[in-house]
Amino acid sequence: MVNPWIDVVVFFIAGLTFPLVNLGLSRLLRRDYPYSLKLDPYESGEEPFGDARVSFRIQYYFYAMIFLVFDVEVVFMYPWAVVLRDLGVFGYVVMLLFALTLVEGLVYAYKKGVLRWI
Domains of the chain, residue spans: 5-112
Q: Is the dihedral of CA 5, 7, 9, 11 positive or negative?
A: negative
Residue 2 has pLDDT above 70, yes or no: yes
Domain 5-112 fold is: Methane Monooxygenase Hydroxylase; Chain G, domain 1 (1.20.58)
Q: Distance (Å, rounded) from C-alpha 53 to C-alpha 96? A: 42
Contacts of 101 (CB under 8 A, 6+ apart): none
Instruction: Kindly report the backbone phi and psi dihedral angles of residue 43, in degrees, each rounded to the nearest multiple of 5, phi listed first.
Output: -100, 20
Residue 92 Cα to chain centre, angstroms? 27
- Note the pLDDT tens digit of each residue in 38-72: 666 665 666 767 777 778 777 778 778 888 888 88
| Across 106-117, average pLDDT | 82
pLDDT band at 35 (very low <50, low <70, confident <90, very high): confident
Percent of the chain scoring above 70 in pLDDT: 87
With CA atoms as reference, report the closest residue to 76 among 61, 97, 62.
97
- Note the pLDDT tens digit of each residue in 80-97: 888 888 888 998 999 999
- CA distances 6 to 2, 3, 9, 21, 59, Å, are 8, 6, 5, 22, 52
Find the DSSP H helices in 1-118.
5-29, 58-82, 84-112
With CA atoms as reference, report the closest residue to 116 among 63, 70, 38.
63
